[in-house]
Amino acid sequence: MANEYYEKLIRCRDAVRAKTDFQPRIGLTLGSGLGPVAETMDIVATVDYKDLPGFPVSTVPGHAGRFLFGYIGGVPVVCMQGRVHYYEGFDIHDVVLPARVMGLLGIKTLFLTNAAGGLDPKMDIPSLMVIRDQMMFNLPNPLMGPNLDELGPRFPDMSDIYDPALRKVLHETAAKLGQKLEEGVYIQLSGPSFETPFEVRYFGSIGGGAVGMSTACEAVAARHMGLRVCGISCIANLGAGLTDAPLCHEEVMAAGDAIAERFSALVTAAIPAIDKA
């Protein structure tokens, strides 16, 4: 597996390199409903995932499937519009392949975003949450299998998986913009069903801030490679059972629309500061 998979990573990187020699310093992964951030980007090149041999392509509505290369606030960035999820049936190694390809393209920092369900009934909907720490529940660790020594060590430390200096930058940026920004622990579940009310009460009771179906496995793969990681969850709804309303994907997408402008302003302003931190 190791060699075949590593060869696929290199093939994907080389296929991107054959289309553009743009050198990004930050990778930005956009979650469900958050794609419009890319409108603030000064785009230099676009690469469709389907044109990269072996690259996983999402089947979820609301997820475009392409890398955008260009500048945000003058900083060279590669932006992922669309990502794949474990619940789509992909192998966990393929779920984190895009993060690893961005690492091989030379990014220093991976900025992960997602839509998530809030675990604290007092949270505003929609709102934004800086990810302080994380937990993966009911899905395999993406580093399982033979270690890819070319990428990182067998037993990587995850103490500061979300870089403390970058979390500070996100809070300072939000304060400058007059935006409220929560901070909390993100819990990734496999999905695709939303959680039960019991699961939501349980994850809230152990200190979780939000639940979702992405991000944590990508953060682990990125830290394995020594990348700095930061993340923001768009709290699109309260977790199941915290309100009377049933959950649906349309609500998540609508929350993305409702917060798109605020989210874009925060990300756009934070990127130059992240680049300097």
Pairing mode, strands 182-189 and 127-137: parallel
- As measured in angstroms, the least distance from the Cβ of 121 to ligand HPA is 13
Which one of residues 22, 49, 194, 203 is an interface residue with ligand HPA (CB under 6 A)? 194
By CB under 6 A, tell whether 256 contacts ligand HPA: no
Q: Which residue number, 170 or 213, has a Cβ lying nearer to ligand HPA?
A: 213
By CB under 6 A, tell whether 252 contacts ligand HPA: yes
Pairing mode, strands 75-81 and 127-137: unpaired
Q: Is 93 a catalytic residue?
A: no
Backbone angles phi, psi at 157, to 5 degrees: -75, 140
Q: Which residue number, 33 or 70, has a Cβ lying nearer to ligand HPA?
A: 33
**CA nearest to 68, candidates 54, 82, 53:** 82
By CB under 6 A, tell whether 127 contacts ligand HPA: no
- Contact present, 177 and 219 (Cβ < 8 Å): no
**DSSP element (H, E) containing 47:** strand 42-48
Q: Choose the binding region for ligand HPA from 130-138, 165-173, 177-185, 209-217 (rule: CB under 6 A).
A: 209-217
Tokens 């192998």 belong to residue:
91
By CB under 6 A, tell whether 139 contacts ligand HPA: no
By CB under 6 A, tell whether 182 contacts ligand HPA: no
How many angstroms separate the CA atoms of 133 and 268, rounded? 23
**DSSP element (H, E) containing 275:** helix 249-276
Q: Choose the binding region for ligand HPA from 67-75, 83-91, 96-104, 205-213 (rule: CB under 6 A).
A: 205-213
Q: Which residue number, 174 or 235, has a Cβ lying nearer to ligand HPA?
A: 235
- Contact present, 234 and 125 (Cβ < 8 Å): no
Q: Which are the contacts of 165, defined by CB distance < 8 A and separation ≥ 6?
A: 277
Q: Is 224 a catalytic residue?
A: no
- Contact present, 64 and 82 (Cβ < 8 Å): yes
Q: Which residue is nearest to ligand HPA (CB)?
A: 117
- C-alpha separations of 127 from 116, 171, 237 in Å: 10, 14, 9
Catalytic residue, candidates 49, 63, 136, 260: 63
Q: Is 249 a catalytic residue?
A: yes
Which one of residues 239, 260, 263, 274 is an interface residue with ligand HPA (CB under 6 A)? 239
Q: Is 63 a catalytic residue?
A: yes
Catalytic positions are 32, 63, 85, 87-88, 115, 213-214, 237, 249
> Residue numbers of the site for ligand HPA (CB under 6 A)?
115-117, 194-195, 211-213, 236-237, 239, 247, 252
